[in-house]
Structure 1
Amino acid sequence: MNKITKRVKGEHSMRSINSGPSTISSTRSTMSSEIGETRNYSFFTIRNDVEMEKIAARKHNTRLLLDSKTCATMRQMRLIDHGNLNKFIGMSLDAPQLLSVWKYCSRGSLADVIRKATIQMDGFFIYSLMKDIVNGLSWIHESNFEFHGMLTSKTCLLNDRWQLKITDFGLREFRTRDQFHVMDRLWTAPELLRNDDIMGSKEGDVYSLGIISAEMITRSSVFDIENRKEDAEELIYMLKKGGLQSPRPSLEHDESLEINPAYLHLVRDCWTERPSERPDIKQVASQLRSMNSNRNDNLMDHVFNVLESYASTLEDEVAERMKELVEEKKKSDVLLYRMLPKQVADKLKLGQTVEPETFDVVTLFFSDVVSFTTLAGKCTPLQVVNLLNGLYTIFDSIIERHDVYKVETIGDGYFVASGVPRRNGNEHTRNIASMSLGFVSSLADFRVPHMPAERIKIRVGFHCGSVVAGVVGLTMPRYCLFGDAVNTASRMESNSKPGQIHISNEANEMLMSLRGFTTEPRGEVIVKGKGVMQTHWLLKMDEAAAPKNYKREND
């Protein structure tokens, strides 16, 4: 990469400058690996006296001769040190394509910032960026460069301090063969489009300033092109045509933006159809100053305040979201613990395997609704669902007061266990017996909503024995109990009578050892698959025999 430092007479080809045998002296720097590329730019690192520095190289589709005027222009550009003009470094002559090299701005172009919404632009932020553009244009308009000519939100760059710098000014000789994308012409003034003028004018710069301002105000792309029915070529045709219906960007904005109405009027003045009616850059600067006469001009202080406010708001929002997350987690845990035992669910949440477990003595309960098939035949499917929902809601409220686990419900069948998965000594039979009596007594006041005259009765049976418990399935895991005791408990229910609690001899012996329960022998009963069994009826429970108040672990 060559940096031209001395005036010459006559013309010299690019190759002569690159090779050195000329009266132009130059300093040479070496560009290292390419770190990025866009349609118009390549990005490199360059080693300066201290460290590696990033640079932006604009591509030019030309191989014209560099005369003394062009060389003088480039020397002048290298000397420019203005806060709102991007630093011109030099020309790269060794590349296959001619490159003009500029200082790299870390936050990218204004168009990128608007598109990515990397910061929330408020009224003061927009004012500050507008002021930076006007300051840069003021210097250009008063210099030998006269005007920029291709000002867009893409040629307005932002450094790490949010200072806006105009780039790609000067070097108008290279534009004659540069290829401009149709989108890049949307910032061009109508009179320049009609004349196919790619050089530009001061009035054209002011027009472009208005279009850029609209992008900042609406926080959208140029003309909000993505949401328009016309494409870029159609828009340019309409701009060339002009007239009262000539399109302009919308200035509709969020009310929270706090934009000075005078600023909106200034933007509209900047893109007036007739160039002579547009304000010059001095008038624009004067009007901008009058809009902010009583406010601090330091954008960085403002950005820090905005970020501090945003951080505070973000902390509050994160805290609120965390609170909501905790509440939702509690709700999901309650639901999960209703579907699976808590200790089992906790292991599954941690991704741990739930090993099958043997329980030596537990109490297993079954119940079903007497003549449910006949009753269901008199109801619609929806009425059946409502009936069972009402019935099971009552049963669920009863089991909440006992140390039991509802294994499953199948139709009108209700399967409950105690002593599994939570071992509770010999209290499992007491809890099942108390719950069974509660189930039967609760039906005295239960009414079928659509058949008030009907009375619901249930058959109940329970048995004590050993089981193996484990989780079955992956997609919809279920906690299941296996063993002969499950079949025996089911037979106690199927051989029971309406409104009665049928218990096995093993369950009766457990209740007698606990005291406080009244049972009576039923006698010998032939049980399918078991033969003759001695069974009993559970009649009542003394108040002193009731299980102590029980509170679930997940409540």
Structure 2
Amino acid sequence: MDLSTDVPDVNYLNTFTSQCSAAVVNPPISCRTPVCLNASTSPASAFARSLHDVFYLYGMALTNVYNQNPDLIQDDAVVSNAMQLTFQGLTGEVSINANNTRVPKLTLYALDKDYDQASFMSLTYSLDGGVSITSLNKDETAMWYWYGGVRPLQQKLERDRINAEWQIPAVKLLKPPKREKERMSKRSLQSGPSVATDTTRITFDSTFTNYTIFLLDKDPVLTTAHPVSALDRTDYESFVKLRKLDHENVNKFIGISIDGAEFVAVWKMCMRGSLQDIIGQGNFSIDPFFMYCVIRDIAEGLKYLHSSFLHVHANLRSGTVLVNESWQAKLTDFGLGNLAEEKKPMKRRKLWMAPEVIRGTLLPHQIEKPADIYSLAIIASEVLTRKEAWDMANRKDTVDEIVYRIKKGGLDPPRPDLDTEGVEVNHNLLVLIRDCWSEEPTDRPTADVICNLLRNMMPKKGNLMDHVFNILEDYTTNLEVEVEDRTKELTAEKRKADVLLGRMLPKQVAERLKQGQTVEPEGFDAVTVFFSDVVKFTQLAAKCTPFQVVNLLNDLYSNFDAIIEEHGVYKVESIGDGYLCVSGLPVRNGNAHIKNIVELSLDFMAYCKSFKVPHLPREEVELRIGVNSGPCVAGVVGLSMPRYCLFGDTVNTASRMESNGKGG
């Protein structure tokens, strides 16, 4: 498109073009820059013609305003309205509309068969917004010479519309925020007892080792990267057919981004991750029904692909089996055999390949259905053993050594172990798996046969989600019973702890500590403090073994504790053979504290007269007692092992009376 048309006065145009550069150094422009001074002999650029028309338009507007009223020459609005003119300029006809914009006149140019520029159409706009189209060349064959001489259709081709369905602009694929990615990558389910084991636990974090997560229209999708390559019409038709594949065990192909730095294949998200990653977590403990369902889903998906236009998956392994929210297995990463992978395939992938594929006798497009059946058997061995393919973590063989042995073949070719570790699996299923990885492709059953046999082997009817819900219900029931039992045990232990705490501290103090409250020291005006110890206890202990000393004090103090309960006295502590009691705190009892302590002392003395040391029957136990009444302060001291302590002269006096008293 050319915005300028031919100028009628060609002589004036040539004069302007040749003299313009030299004139810019003169008034009114008076340009003295080196560029202007050095360009005096150069022809004017195409933009100079537009600048000419601008100056000419402005001058005409000023002249018209001045002629009408010289006082309005400074009024911008008046001058602006005066610019709505039409004149012949050096860029063709110039017409300024009411919006003070130029009404364009466009000409359509194209190259003819001789590569010369030819004008074919003129578009002229009017001041009122109308447009007139004038054909300058009636020969459509010449206009569309480079399109085969045929005018293209005005409507978009149906093929382009269909191709647009699978073509995804690269700008629409966005990296998810880190927090959103972590949320999508954390999925877990815990189930309770099942019919096969006492406890079945399904817990893992879904991961996507072989895929990259993107957001497409705010929805998470899985992608695989491929180098840019040439695509033909056959590829386009294949992608259209891939989008139309629809089966509950086949993951949905969304499309491909082909306008970025690399091709990106986009698949529907399956939130629980790939089967390979799930098994690789190491805590894949499931019951036989779950195993049957996973293997059945893979077989059903394979059956569908084998009956589709693809006829084969050609890339089947546990890494291309995804698990969705409903614990349904879905095949993915199929139908892209013509697209090269971003990275060279890892050697580990050969562990799932059929022997005839590993030997290199087949090209990618020549892989047939029996190769998929072999891969299905390898995946089934992973599911049954709950270990990665060939249990590489516990094998001494390397991947290269295993691949070499598979490639070599023989009468007894190597195959994965089918040790189910105590899980009861139908023997017919093990036989079927061994048939599926037969050395000869013709000996392997078809996907139809496998699906029929698996239906007959199913331990019970129903779908996997119902089975999972039943597991959860059983687990919930057992969990409720277990929680109830644990609650009873906790209550009993709490009661014991409360009793023990009540013996260590006063009840009121213990309650405050359990509630997390601070226990402030408290003063008491009238209490009676009691101290006692065993006379000549050191000499008595020297005649006993340590165990005998412990038994002696235990017998003595157990009876003392019983006497204390009878008199309502609070036992503060006992250290060695020493005993400290008090009455009148923590519960005030008026003057009764004196009577309580006196009666307690007499009962202690009476008991000691009848007490006999079991291993020293001739030894007598005598007590030395100190009693004093008066005020004191009581409070809790310490955090790790809090103690209820008494402070004050009353306590000190009672202690000295005991230490200086006479035994009896």
- TM-score band (shorter)? 0.7 to 0.9
RMSD: 3.6
Tell me the amino acid that sits aligned with residue 423 of structure 1.
Answer: R
Separation of aligned partners in 1, 2:219 and 2:582: 74
Cα distance in structure 2, aligned partners of 1:452 and 1:468: 42
Aligned residue number for residue 206 of structure 1? 373
Aligned to 1:34: 176
Amino acid corresponding to residue 331 of structure 2 in structure 1: I
Aligned counterparts, 1:346-495, within 5 A: 346-443=511-608, 446-448=611-613, 451=616, 453-495=618-660
1:60-459 to structure 2, matched below 5 A, reads 60=226, 62-113=227-278, 121-175=286-340, 178-181=343-346, 186-189=351-354, 192=357, 202-222=369-389, 228=394, 230=396, 234=398, 237-238=401-402, 240-241=404-405, 246=414, 248-249=416-417, 251-253=419-421, 259-271=425-437, 277-292=443-458, 295-443=460-608, 446-448=611-613, 451=616, 453-459=618-624
- 8 A contact 1:467–1:483 mirrored in 2: yes
CA distance in 1 between counterparts of 2:398 and 2:219 reads 42
CA change 1:438–1:236 in 2 (3 A) is farther
Q: Does the aligned pair in 2 maintain the 1:239–1:246 contact within 8 Å?
A: no
Deviation at 1:436, TM superposition (A): 3.6
The TM-score with structure 1 as length reference comes to 0.73
> CA 1:34 to 1:386, structure 2 compared with 1: closer, same or farther past 3 Å?
same
C-alpha separation in 2, matches of 1:127 and 1:449:
73
What amino acid sits opposite 1:339 in the alignment? M
Q: Give the superposition deviation at 1:247.
A: 6.3
Residues 400 and 88 (structure 1), Cα distance of their counterparts in 2 relative to 1, 3 Å cut = farther
Is residue 208–residue 273 contact of structure 2 (8 Å, CA) maintained in 1? no
The one of the two structures with greater contact order (alpha-carbon pairs below 8 A, sep at least 6) is 1
CA pair 469-407 structure 1, distance change in 2 beyond 3 A: same
Q: Quick check: 1:149–1:204 contact (8 Å CA) kept in 2?
A: yes
One-letter amino acid of the structure 2 residue matched with residue 26 of structure 1: A
Q: CA deviation at 1:245?
A: 9.3
Whichever of the two has the greater Rg, that structure is: 2
Taking a change above 3 Å as real, the CA distance of residues 497 and 220 of structure 1, as seen in their structure-2 partners, is: farther
Whether the 8 Å CA contact 1:403–1:428 is kept in 2: the answer is: no
The C-alpha deviation readout for 1:397-441, integer Å capped at 9, x for no partner, is 444455333322222212122332233444434443444444444
CA deviations over 1:421-472 (Å, ceiling 9, x no partner): 2334444344434444444444456554554554433323332221111122
| CA-CA distance at 1:87 after TM superposition | 0.2
Partner-residue secondary structure (3-state), 1:34: coil
Superposed CA offset, 1:188-226 (max 9, x none) = 456655659895664443344334334444445555655
Aligned partner of 1:8 in structure 2 is none
Contact 1:54 1:104 survives alignment (8 Å) = yes
Alpha-carbon distance change, 173 to 329 in structure 1, aligned in 2, over 3 angstroms: farther
Quick check: 1:121–1:216 contact (8 Å CA) kept in 2?
no
Q: By how many angstroms is 1:340 displaced?
A: 2.4
Q: Deviations over 1:481-528 (max 9, x none)?
A: 101111122123223333x4xxxxxxxxxxxxxxxxxxxxxxxxxxxx
How far does residue 261 in structure 1 lie from its aligned partner after superposition? 3.4
Counterpart position of 1:535: none
| 3-state SS, counterpart of residue 249 of structure 2 | coil
Structure 2: gaps (5+ residues): 1-155, 182-206
* Secondary structure in 1 matching 2:299: helix
